[in-house]
Chain A
Amino acid sequence: MPETDAIVDADSVGEPAELPLDGWHRARGARMVPFAGYAMPLQYAGPHGGIIAEHDWTRTSASLFDVSHMGQILIEGEGATAALERLLPADLAALKLGHIRYSLLLDEHGGIRDDLLVTKLTAGVDRFSLVVNGATKADDFDYLRADLPRTVSLTMLQGVALLALQGPAAAAVLGDMIPGISPKLGFMRSVMRDWRGYRLNIGRSGYTGEDGFEISLSVAGAAAFADALLADERVRPAGLGARDSLRLEAGLPLYGHDLDRTTDPVSAGLAFAISKRRRAEGGYPGVARISQALAEGPARRLVGLLVEGRMPAREGAPVFAGPVAVGRATSGAFSPTLGRPIALANVESAHCAPGTFLELEVRGRRLAAEVVPLPFVPHRYHRAGASA
C-alpha cells in the first residue's frame, strides 16, 4: 500500500524547508508532507481533522490555512509600474492604492511562468507587492531582477508569514479581532492594520472560492495571531489537502498542474487577467500568440468535467471523445461538496461546450464525464459595495 499524495511534488529534492509555524502545526497533529520545497500540513488530526471535515468546515464556517511557503516580493522605485507592465498583462498604471489584481508572469511565447497577486501599496508611488507560488518564487525573482531596471528595487521578503482565513464566518471573526475592518473591505482590496504591535497586511482574497482574507505579518507575531484566530470557536485549522479540493471546486487553476509554460492565458480561461488597455496596446510578452488566441479562440481550453460514478480521475488521465484522444485531465479529485468526482482538463476546443459528453480513461477503464461551466461550486466572494 504505497502512499501517493497527488499534490505532493515528486521533483522537490533535499530536505524540505520548515514553515515559520512548523512546530505550531505539529503540535496540532498535522501530517506534514513535502510541497513546494517545504514541509506543509496536509491535514490535521483529531475529531475535526481530515480533508473532508476541513473542507466542509471551510464551506460552512472558517478555516485557517498557512500559506507561508508562497513568495512575497516587494517592488518599488521610479519606473516600476512601466517595467512591470513589460512582464505582466495587467493595467498597473490604473491600479489604485490597496487594490489587488490577479495577474500572470508570461514568457516570450505567451506561456505562463507563474500566476500571482499584485497589490498597489502606495498611492502615486511605484510600489507593489507580489504574492507568487512557492515552487516558482526563486525563478520568478531571478526573472524579474534580470528584466527590471536598476532604479527599481526588488526584495524577497524574509521573516514574514502568510495566513489565509477562509469561509463564510471569516469576516465576522476578523472583524471581532480587528474592529471596523470587514464590512468596508471588498474582494480584492487590501488594508494595513496593527494588531498587538504587529503590522498586518490584510487582503480580502484567497483561493477557496469563499469569502476570506490573506494576512501577511512578521514571523514573530504569526503564532500568537494564529492562536488568537483559533481561540474563536468558528475557526479551525485546515491543511493543503482541503485547500486543493476547495480550489478545484472553485474552478481555480493550480500552477504546475493546470497551468505551466505550455499554456497561454486564453487557453487556461484566464483572459480576464489581460486588462482592456493592455489588449489594445500590447507590450507584454507573447502578445502575438495571445492576441491571436483572443481574436480567433484558442486551440485548446481548460474545462470542468463532472465525472460519473465515485471513482476519481486524477491528473494525467487521458480524455476521449469516442475513440479519439482530445486532451488530458490536469487536476482531479473527489468533490466533498458535490459528493462526486470532478476534474479540470485541457481539451481541444471543438469538444469544450458545456453539455458535451466525453470520457476519461482511468486504469484502462472509461468513465463518462460531462463538460460543465466553471466553477463547480459557486464563488461567495464579498464584492465591494455589496451588503455585508
Chain B
Amino acid sequence: MTRYYTEDHEWIEVEGDVATVGITDHAQSQLGDLVFVEVPKPGTELKKGGEAAVVESVKAASDVFSPVGGRVIEGNQTIEGDPAMVNSDPEGAGWFFRLTIADPAELDGLMDGAAYAELLAGIG
C-alpha cells in the first residue's frame, strides 16, 4: 500500500489497481467544522483533477478533486450521515470514495508523504 498526496490536499492510498481517496488533516483543519459532505455514486467515471465530491463547512463550500482518473466503486456513506467524522479522522474513517485506477501512470507526479510534509512546512 502506498499513499500519495496532491497539492489540493487530497490523499490517495493505492493497493493494486484500487485506490481510496480522502482529504488531509491540513485540509479539514482549514475548512473547519464540516456540516455537509456529498460523495460520488458507484459507477461514476472520474477524471484526474476533476470534481469528485463536495464538502461544506458552516460558512463555505469546497470541491474535492480526484487525484487520478477511474471508476468509483464506493462512496463513504458514513461521512454523508456524519460529516464531522471527516474533521475527527480525515485520513482514516473519514475517507471519501474508492475507485479503480484507469491509468497507473497518472500516479506519477503525486507527492509522497515526505514531499507533502515539505509542502505544508512551506505553507507555514
Interface on A for B, CB 8 Å cutoff? 1-7, 31, 42-43, 50-53, 55, 241, 244-245, 310-312, 314, 333-334, 336, 363
Q: What are the residues of chain B within 8 A of A1 when measuring CB–CB?
A: 8-10, 23, 27, 31, 55, 62-65
For residue A363, which residues in chain B have a CB less than 8 angstroms away from its CB?
A: 54
Do A241 and B32 contact each other (CB < 8 Å), given the known contacts A1-B64, A334-B56? Answer: yes
16 intermolecular pairs with C-beta atoms under 8 Å apart: A1-B55, A1-B65, A2-B8, A2-B63, A3-B60, A4-B61, A4-B62, A6-B59, A52-B58, A311-B36, A312-B56, A314-B60, A334-B35, A334-B56, A336-B58, A363-B54
Report yes or no: A4 in contact with B35, Cβ–Cβ below 8 A: no
Q: Is B76 an interface residue (CB 8 A)?
A: no
Chain A residue nearest to B9 (CB atoms) is: A1
Q: Is the interface of B mostly helix, strand, loop or mixed?
A: strand
In the bound assembly, the distance between CA atoms of A5 and B33 in angstroms comes to 12
Q: What residues of A have a CB within 8 angstroms of the CB of B91 in the complex?
A: none
Do B62 and A312 touch (CB < 8 A)? no
Interface 0/1 of B53-79, CB less than 8 Å to A: 011111111111100000000000000
Interface contact B59-A244, CB-CB below 8 Å: yes
Q: Check A245–B9 contact: CB distance below 8 A.
A: no
Select one of A2, A4, A31, A241 contacting B58, CB under 8 A.
A241
Give Cα A1–Cα B66 distance, bound, in whole angstroms: 10
Closest A residue by C-beta to B53:
A1
Q: What residues of B have a CB within 8 angstroms of the CB of A5 in the complex?
A: 59-60
Q: A1-B10, A1-B64 are in contact. Are A51 and B59 (CB under 8 A)?
A: yes
Distance (whole angstroms) from the CB of B38 to the closest CB of chain A: 7
Contact B32 A3 (CB under 8 A): no
Q: Which residue of B lies closest to A241 (CB)?
A: B59
What is the CB-to-nearest-CB distance from A29 to chain B, in angstroms, rounded to a whole number?
11
Q: What does the 1/0 interface line of B70-113 toward A look like (CB < 8 Å)?
A: 00000000000001000000000000000000000000000000
The one of A43, A53, A314 in contact with B61, judged by C-beta atoms closer than 8 angstroms, is A314
How far apart sit A43 and B31, CA to CA, in the bound complex (Å)? 11
Evaluate contact between A51 and B33: CB separation under 8 angstroms. Answer: yes
Q: Mark B24-36, 1 if CB is under 8 A from A, else 0.
A: 0001001111011
Beyond A3-B60, A51-B32, A314-B61, list 20 extra A-B contacts (CB 8 Å).
A1-B8, A1-B31, A1-B62, A1-B65, A2-B8, A4-B60, A4-B61, A5-B59, A31-B30, A51-B58, A51-B59, A52-B33, A241-B58, A241-B59, A244-B59, A311-B38, A312-B56, A333-B59, A334-B36, A334-B58
CB-nearest residue of chain A relative to B7? A1
User: Could you say which of A42, A244, A312 contacts B36, with CB atoms under 8 Å apart?
Assistant: A312
Q: Which 10 A-B pairs have the closest CB atoms?
A: A334-B35, A51-B58, A52-B33, A6-B60, A4-B60, A1-B8, A310-B36, A1-B9, A311-B36, A6-B59
Which residues on the B side are within 8 Å of A312 (C-beta)?
A: 35-36, 56, 61
